[in-house]
């Protein structure tokens, strides 16, 4: 019970910090935010966009629609308080009232991202405690996620990434918590939630991989049952994504007659923006672990190097401990390590394969942050890890969070 209160306090502190940082900046926006803002306003207007080859459009058809629909709902709920002066597109023609408050400008587009970012903290706690049965480890996982500066920053942007991760964490919490809803098993519900993750951003598809692999490795059911459960997760994801995309195309005046033509457009746009020149070479894994300065071409996996560098310890230590144990004697905590390892490997390889010929931006690595939190918590609760080292690491994480994120203008280079 005490851990629940502490996690709730962490989530509340996360929200208050995001609101305070948002309130201190007048009419603030970041990089691609205007793209998603315009697309959200188009939905609220009831307008679509025509196609001009494979050029990215105001309606942002190159990404799935769910987050932009949520932003449109938020816009409507907050009275559509968007200033015309901040919308740059010549095709944007909505009759928008003048901005009455810079804080309302901030919150109107970013309400769901802030809430989902905060709720990710208790979700990390639930996932960790359901797998590991260790409340201290679960609380530490929630704390490490809350202390990740890049995750916190993008939770107060109009970007697609935090909702994508949030729905994936919901899927994991449902699966490991064996949550059922009437005739729907945890497998169907988990699949549906992964589908919502993919509807938020297409790269969310990677989050089903560690779930399936973990299920195959550890679920103690017969082979036929395993196959049915795996198919339920895959089917739930596919049905929700296809139905959601088709529903959007049918109701939002998009130029696509079917979800298939919309998918073809998304793939075509992705292929058309392959990088040339300075960013035509992929970052190496060494770059990912050592390069932390803000760059339009590539960056580190995390803007908190202390959390990232723990990977270099918790992966070999966990593998060694797993090697020494027998399969039927694998502890719950070791199972959390396996899940963290599968999640890290899946998201790491996603970036390695997808972005080989593209510029790699910092927020592409957000998918890896939950695995860093789970793995870091696993390491810091091992008896083999000295107590003084645990104190030093946690102190560095706290100092790094305040120094990189809260001190303005912060070291992330975003504000």
| Tens of pLDDT, residues 5-57 | 999 999 999 999 999 888 877 566 787 888 898 899 888 888 888 776 656 57
pLDDT value of position 362 = 73
Enumerate residue ranges in the chain where pLDDT < 70. 26-28, 52-56, 81-101, 273-303, 326-328, 354-360, 408-415
For residue 387, being part of any structural domain is answered with yes
pLDDT value of position 56 = 59
pLDDT value of position 53 = 63
For residue 237, being part of any structural domain is answered with yes
Angle between helices 135-146 and 2-23 (to 10 degrees): 0
For residue 124, being part of any structural domain is answered with yes
Closest CA to 120 of 157, 151, 156: 151
Closest CA to 240 of 306, 289, 179, 191: 191
For residue 303, being part of any structural domain is answered with yes
Determine if the peptide bond prior to 254 is cis (ω within 30°): no
pLDDT value of position 48 = 82
- The answer for residues whose C-beta is within 8 angstroms of residue 111's C-beta and 6 or more apart is 74, 77, 78
| Tokens found for residue 393 | 């690491």
**Residues 195/57, Cβ–Cβ less than 8 Å:** no
pLDDT value of position 180 = 93
| Tens of pLDDT, residues 382-415 | 998 899 999 999 998 888 888 778 775 455 556 5
- The answer for residues whose C-beta is within 8 angstroms of residue 43's C-beta and 6 or more apart is 65, 68, 69, 72, 252
**Residues 63/266, Cβ–Cβ less than 8 Å:** yes
For residue 288, being part of any structural domain is answered with no
pTM of the model: 0.91
For residue 414, being part of any structural domain is answered with no
pLDDT value of position 95 = 44
For residue 411, being part of any structural domain is answered with no
| Tokens found for residue 62 | 């190159």
For residue 412, being part of any structural domain is answered with no
Closest CA to 69 of 88, 46, 92, 49: 46
Closest CA to 196 of 163, 157, 151, 233: 163
Residues of the domain holding 76: 2-280+297-406
Give ∠ CA 150-155-159 in degrees, rounded to 5: 95
Into how many domains does the chain fold? Answer: 1
Q: Is 69 helix (H, G, I), strand (E, B) or coil?
A: helix
pLDDT value of position 295 = 44
> Measured in whole angstroms, how far is the alpha carbon of residue 269 from the centre of its chain?
22
Q: Distance (Å, rounded) from C-alpha 15 to C-alpha 11? A: 6
């Amino acid at each position: 019970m005490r851990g629940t209160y502490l996690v709730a306090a962490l989530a509340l502190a996360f929200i208050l910090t995001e609101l305070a940082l948002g309130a201190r900046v007048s009419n603030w926006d970041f990089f691609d935010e205007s793209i998603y803002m315009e697309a959200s306003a188009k939905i609220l207007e009831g307008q679509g966009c025509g196609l001009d080859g494979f050029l990215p459009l105001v309606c942002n058809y190159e990404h799935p629609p769910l987050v932009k629909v949520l932003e449109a709902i938020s816009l409507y709920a907050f009275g559509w308080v968007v200033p015309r002066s901040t919308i740059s597109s010549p095709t944007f023609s909505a009759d928008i009232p003048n901005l009455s408050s810079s804080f309302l400008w901030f919150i109107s587009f970013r309400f769901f991202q802030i809430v989902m970012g905060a709720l990710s903290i208790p979700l990390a706690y639930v996932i960790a405690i359901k797998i590991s049965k260790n409340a201290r480890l679960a609380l530490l996982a929630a704390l490490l996620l809350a202390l990740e500066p890049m995750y916190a920053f993008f939770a107060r942007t109009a970007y697609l990434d935090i909702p994508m991760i949030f729905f994936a964490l919901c899927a994991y919490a449902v699966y490991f918590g064996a949550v059922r809803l009437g005739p729907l098993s945890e497998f169907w519900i988990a699949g549906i939630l992964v589908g919502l993750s993919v509807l938020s951003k297409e790269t969310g598809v990677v989050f089903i991989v560690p779930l399936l692999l973990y299920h195959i490795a550890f679920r103690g059911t017969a082979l036929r049952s395993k196959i049915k459960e795996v198919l339920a997760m895959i089917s739930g994801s596919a049905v929700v994504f296809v139905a959601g995309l088709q529903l959007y195309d049918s109701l939002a005046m998009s130029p696509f007659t079917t979800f298939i033509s919309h998918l073809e457009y998304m793939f075509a746009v992705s292929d058309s923006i392959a990088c040339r020149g300075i960013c035509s070479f992929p970052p190496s894994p060494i770059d990912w672990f050592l390069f932390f300065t803000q760059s339009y071409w590539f960056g580190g996996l995390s803007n908190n190097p202390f959390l990232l560098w723990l990977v270099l310890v918790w992966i070999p230590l966990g593998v060694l401990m797993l090697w020494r144990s027998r399969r039927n004697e694998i502890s719950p905590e070791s199972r959390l390590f396996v899940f963290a390892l599968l999640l890290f490997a899946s998201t790491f390889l996603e970036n390695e394969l997808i972005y080989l010929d593209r510029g790699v931006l910092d927020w592409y690595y957000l998918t890896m942050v939950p695995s860093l939190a789970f793995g870091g918590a696993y390491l810091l609760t091992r008896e083999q890890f000295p107590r003084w080292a645990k104190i030093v690491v946690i102190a560095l994480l706290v100092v790094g969070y305040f120094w990189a994120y809260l001190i303005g203008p912060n070291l992330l280079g975003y504000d």
